[in-house]
C-alpha cells in the first residue's frame, strides 16, 4: 500500500476499561497529524458488514472516563475464513482506509497479523485485555482497573468471611494467565492464589492447606484463576468438601464484573500513550507491531512475538504471597 491518509480503528474480543481512552487518543493523534479517521463498529465483523463511520474530534469527546468501548466489540467467525477477510478488504478499500489500529487481546492481534500478511495492510495493535497476558508489554489496557475491581470485591468478601469463619474461593478472570489472581491476592492480603502457571508442578490446594491455612486464622480467602487448567473455584471447593470436611467453604465467581467500570488513571494514561504511539508508528512506516510499554518506555513488539511467546509470571511475586500469608 502507498501513503497512509486514512486510519481505521476497531476494538475486538473482550472489552477492557481504557479502550475508549485509546480510541480517543488514536483519533486525535491522527487528526493532529493530518490523517482522516474512520471508526469500525463491532470489531472485524464491522469490516465485513461495512459498519464504518468517519470520526472527528467531537466523536471522541467525553469518553475517556467511560468503561467498555463506544465502537462495540464482537467475535467474528467469518473473519477467520479467507472469504470473510476478502470481503473485509474490499470494504476497507471502498471506505478509503489505508491502515488499521486494532485494540484487543491475542486473538485480535492474530487476526490482524493474518490480514496484514494476506493483503499488505499496515496494522498496529494495542494490547487491550484485562488478562495482562500479552508478551512484550509490562501491562495491558484494562488490567489495572480489573485488579482494582477485584480488590474492592475481596475487601467486601473478607468482611463476611471473617464474620462466619469461612474459607472462600474467589474465581477471577485470566484464562491461561494468573496475573489477576496472583497480584489480586497480594494486594488484598489473601492467603493464596491458584494459577495455571503452576498447576502442573504442584498440588496447589494441598500446599495451601498444609502451609497457608492456620486454625489461628478465623477466615481465609483463596483466589483462583478461571482457567480450565486449574479447574476453577468450584473444582477446589468440591475437593475441600471431600478431603477437608472440617472447613466451611464458600465460592464467589466475580465474572464479568471485572471487565466493567470507569478506567483508573493508570489505564487512561497508558491507553492514551499507546494510542498516540500507534499513529507515530504508522508515520514511521512500522507495520505488524503491537505497541507495548517496557520500563515506562514505548516499545514496538512484532505480532509474532506478542502472540506466540508466553508472558512469564515473576517467581518473586509467588514468594511474596507465600511469605506474607502466614
Domains of the chain, earliest start first? 6-142+263-308 (3.40.50.450), 144-259 (3.40.50.460)
Task: For residues 125 and 120, give the distance between their C-alpha atoms in angstroms, rounded to a whole number.
Answer: 15
217-241: average pLDDT: 88
| Catalytic entry in 15, 98, 106, 131 | 131
14-25: average pLDDT: 97
Task: For residues 2 and 319, give the distance between their C-alpha atoms in angstroms, rounded to a whole number.
Answer: 52
Q: Kindly report, residue by residue over 195-212, the tens digit of the pLDDT.
A: 998 765 557 777 777 665
Task: For residues 171 and 142, give the distance between their C-alpha atoms in angstroms, rounded to a whole number.
Answer: 18
291 pLDDT more than 80:
yes
Task: For residues 45 and 291, give the distance between their C-alpha atoms in angstroms, rounded to a whole number.
Answer: 23
150 pLDDT more than 60:
yes
Q: Look up residue 317 and give its three cell numbers.
A: 511475586
Beta bridge partners of 194: 224
First-to-last C-alpha distance (Å) of the chain: 60
215 pLDDT more than 80:
no
pLDDT score, position 206? 75
287 pLDDT more than 90:
yes
Cα 159 to Cα 84, 153, 156, 189, 219: the distances in Å are: 51, 10, 5, 13, 9
Active site residue 131: yes
Residues 6+ apart with CB under 8 A from 185: 191, 192, 193, 221, 222, 223, 321
Say what percent of the chain tops pLDDT 90: 79
pLDDT score, position 205? 73
Beta bridge partners of 293: 298
Task: For residues 203 and 189, give the distance between their C-alpha atoms in angstroms, rounded to a whole number.
Answer: 21
pLDDT score, position 298? 98
Q: What is the mean pLDDT of the chain?
A: 93
pLDDT score, position 105? 95
pTM of structure = 0.94
Tell me the pLDDT band of 214, cut-offs 50, 70 and 90.
Answer: low
Task: For residues 125 and 101, give the distance between their C-alpha atoms in angstroms, rounded to a whole number.
Answer: 6
Amino acid at each position: 500500500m502507498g501513503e497512509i491518509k486514512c486510519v481505521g480503528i476497531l476494538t475486538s474480543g473482550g472489552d477492557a476499561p481504557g479502550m475508549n481512552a485509546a480510541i480517543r487518543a488514536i483519533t486525535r493523534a491522527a487528526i493532529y497529524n493530518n490523517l482522516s479517521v474512520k471508526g469500525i463498529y463491532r470489531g472485524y465483523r464491522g469490516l465485513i458488514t461495512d459498519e464504518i463511520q468517519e470520526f472527528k474530534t467531537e466523536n471522541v469527546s467525553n469518553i475517556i472516563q467511560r468503561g467498555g468501548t463506544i465502537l462495540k466489540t464482537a467475535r467474528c467467525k467469518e473473519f477467520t475464513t479467507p472469504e470473510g477477510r476478502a470481503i473485509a478488504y474490499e470494504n476497507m478499500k471502498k471506505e478509503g482506509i489505508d491502515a488499521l489500529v486494532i485494540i484487543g487481546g491475542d486473538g485480535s492481534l492474530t487476526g490482524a497479523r493474518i490480514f496484514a500478511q494476506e493483503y499488505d495492510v499496515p496494522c498496529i495493535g494495542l494490547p487491550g485485555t484485562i488478562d495482562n497476558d500479552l508478551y512484550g508489554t509490562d501491562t495491558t489496557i484494562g488490567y489495572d482497573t480489573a485488579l482494582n475491581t477485584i480488590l474492592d470485591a475481596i475487601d467486601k468478601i473478607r468482611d463476611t468471611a471473617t464474620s462466619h469463619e469461612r474459607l472462600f474461593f474467589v474465581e477471577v478472570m485470566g484464562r491461561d494467565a494468573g496475573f489477576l489472581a496472583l497480584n489480586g491476592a497480594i494486594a488484598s492480603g489473601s492467603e493464596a492464589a491458584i494459577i495455571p502457571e503452576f498447576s502442573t508442578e504442584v498440588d496447589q490446594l494441598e500446599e495451601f492447606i498444609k502451609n497457608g491455612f492456620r486454625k489461628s486464622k478465623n477466615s481465609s480467602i483463596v483466589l483462583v484463576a478461571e482457567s480450565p487448567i486449574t479447574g476453577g473455584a468450584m473444582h477446589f471447593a468440591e475437593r475441600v468438601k471431600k478431603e477437608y470436611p472440617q472447613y466451611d467453604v464458600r465460592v464467589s465467581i466475580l465474572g464479568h464484573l471485572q471487565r466493567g467500570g470507569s478506567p483508573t488513571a493508570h489505564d487512561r494514561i497508558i491507553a492514551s500513550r499507546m494510542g498516540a504511539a500507534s499513529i507515530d508508528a504508522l508515520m514511521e512506516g512500522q507495520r505488524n507491531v503491537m505497541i507495548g510499554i517496557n520500563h515506562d518506555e514505548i516499545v514496538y513488539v512484532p505480532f509474532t512475538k506478542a502472540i506466540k511467546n508466553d508472558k512469564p509470571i515473576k517467581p518473586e511475586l509467588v514468594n511474596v504471597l507465600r511469605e506474607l500469608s502466614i
